[in-house]
Amino acid sequence: MQRETLKNLLKNGAIWGFIVLELVFFQVVGSVLSLSETAFIDPDNMLLLLKQSAPIGIIAVGMTVIMINGNIDLSVGATYALAGIVMLDSMTWPIFVGLGDWAIPFAWLMALLTGCALGLINGLIVWKTGVDAFIVTLGAMLGFRGLVFMYNGQQPTYHLNWTMVDIAEWGVFGLQTSALVFIGVSLLVWLMMTRTVHGRNAYAIGNNREAAVNAGIRVGPHILINFVLIGFLAALSAVAFYSGSGSVNPNDGMLFELWAITAVVLGGTKLAGGAGSIVGTFGGVIAIQLLRKGLGHIGAQTETVNLVIGLILIAVLLLDKQLNRQGQQELKL
């Protein structure tokens, strides 16, 4: 019994231990090499970090739900870009342009609806055709990105509204809007996954789909809801980010899906589904961002960052496999 508790602690707490390790490492190495004036563990630095991790973080929260449910969504990066374009472009549409700053909520709404619609398409195809989500969303990734380029060619889509920028840069306790959105979304989705029927069933479906069907759970609608949710969150991430920047490059959001998946997996969610947590993903997102910032802080070249993150990801998964294998062997009869 005690060993089990210890193992669970090790498994669930690993990501936080890793974060502490990163903080200590970069702090110490940073001051030894005295490369930077400021300490690494500086409140402003940490708050900035939260803001910087928001775009991928918000998407990663949705990806966690999708992956616990036993699916995957590769189209989130393209959805992010497309929602950003819709938001900025819609503010120049004749019906909204007369509203002045009141166009802003409509622009946001358009962007969020775009995200939901794209998610709905993915979800319906996965549900109704039974084609693997990997294939469906791989197609969607290419297709949605195609739409992004059809919108404005290679040109960035540009619209700056200073009220919107003000909203994006508004903040409490030094946390800017996008960071607050990230925290809020994490909290809400965490509640959804741990406390609601939908969350419970999502775990059950991901863990053993056949048993879920046999228990009378309607698998399809749950899958659909989760795809709409991740579409919505990808769009929300775009809203939070582009409200401040005001310019969408057609290549924006590329590889976001992979960064989101990396964060989710680092946070302990199983690729096969059925197990994982929003809290873990939150940790995973922070850990990656810390690594990026930290490597910069100690003067490592930016090119090395991806290599290091890749190596760490593999190391973490190896450790996880080791821990899980031990657990299973004891019980095999």
Partner 1 sequence: MTTDRKPALRLEGIVKTFPGVRALDGVSFEVYPGEVHALMGENGAGKSTLMKVLGGIYQPEEGRIFVDEQETVMTSPLQAKAKGVMFIHQELSLANELSVAENIYLGALPRKSFGRVDWKMLFDRTDAILDRLKVGFNARTLVGDLSIANQQMVEIARALTVNARAVIFDEPTASLTDAEKVVLFEVIESLQAEGVGIVYISHRMEEIFKMTDRISVLRDGSYRGTLTTAETNEDEVTNMMIGRSLDLSRNHAHAELGDVALQVEGLSCHALFQDVSFEVREGEVLGFYGLVGAGRTEIAETLFGLRTPSAGKIFLKGQEIRIHSPIQAIQNGISLVPESRKEQGLVLGMSCRDNITLPQVDDMTAGPFVSDGAEISIFDQYRDKLEIKTPSWRTAVGNLSGGNQQKIVIGKWLSMRPEVLIVDEPTRGIDVGSKAEIHNLLRDLAKQGYAVIVISSEMPEVLHVADRIVAMYHGKVIRTFTAEEVTEDSLIQAISGIEGGKAA
Residues within the interface to partner 1 (CB under 8 A): 1, 191, 195-197, 200-201, 203-204, 207-208, 210-218, 274-275, 330-331, 333
Complex with partner 1: residue 109 or 215, whichever CB lies closer: 215
For residue 229, the SS3 value is helix
Complex with partner 1: residue 44 or 330, whichever CB lies closer: 330
Q: What is the pairing mode between strands 157-158 and 247-248?
A: antiparallel
Complex with partner 1: residue 163 or 195, whichever CB lies closer: 195
Do 202 and 223 meet the contact criterion of CB atoms below 8 Å apart? no
Which of these, 320, 294, 317, lies nearest to 305 by C-alpha position?
A: 294
Complex with partner 1: residue 13 or 171, whichever CB lies closer: 13
As measured in angstroms, the least distance from the Cβ of 202 to partner 1 is 11
As measured in angstroms, the least distance from the Cβ of 205 to partner 1 is 9
As measured in angstroms, the least distance from the Cβ of 232 to partner 1 is 18
In one-letter notation, the amino acid at residue 183 is: I
Token match 């342009």: residue? 97
As measured in angstroms, the least distance from the Cβ of 68 to partner 1 is 10
Where helices occur in 208-297 by DSSP H, the ranges are 209-214, 219-245, 256-266, 278-297
As measured in angstroms, the least distance from the Cβ of 75 to partner 1 is 27
Token match 């794209």: residue? 118
Helix axes 177-195, 278-297, angle to 10 degrees: 150
Euclidean distance between CA atoms 227 and 72, whole angstroms: 9
As measured in angstroms, the least distance from the Cβ of 213 to partner 1 is 6
Complex with partner 1: residue 143 or 220, whichever CB lies closer: 220
Give the DSSP letter of residue 161: -
Enclosing H/E stretch for 175: strand 175-176
As measured in angstroms, the least distance from the Cβ of 246 to partner 1 is 36
Complex with partner 1: residue 97 or 197, whichever CB lies closer: 197
Q: Give the phi and the psi of residue 275 in degrees, each rounded to 5.
A: -145, 145
Which of these, 287, 290, 286, 264, lies nearest to 275 by C-alpha position?
A: 264
As measured in angstroms, the least distance from the Cβ of 134 to partner 1 is 21
For residue 208, the SS3 value is coil
Q: Is 329 exposed, middle or buried (0-12, 13-18, 19+ CB in 10 A)?
A: exposed
Complex with partner 1: residue 119 or 276, whichever CB lies closer: 276
Complex with partner 1: residue 107 or 278, whichever CB lies closer: 278
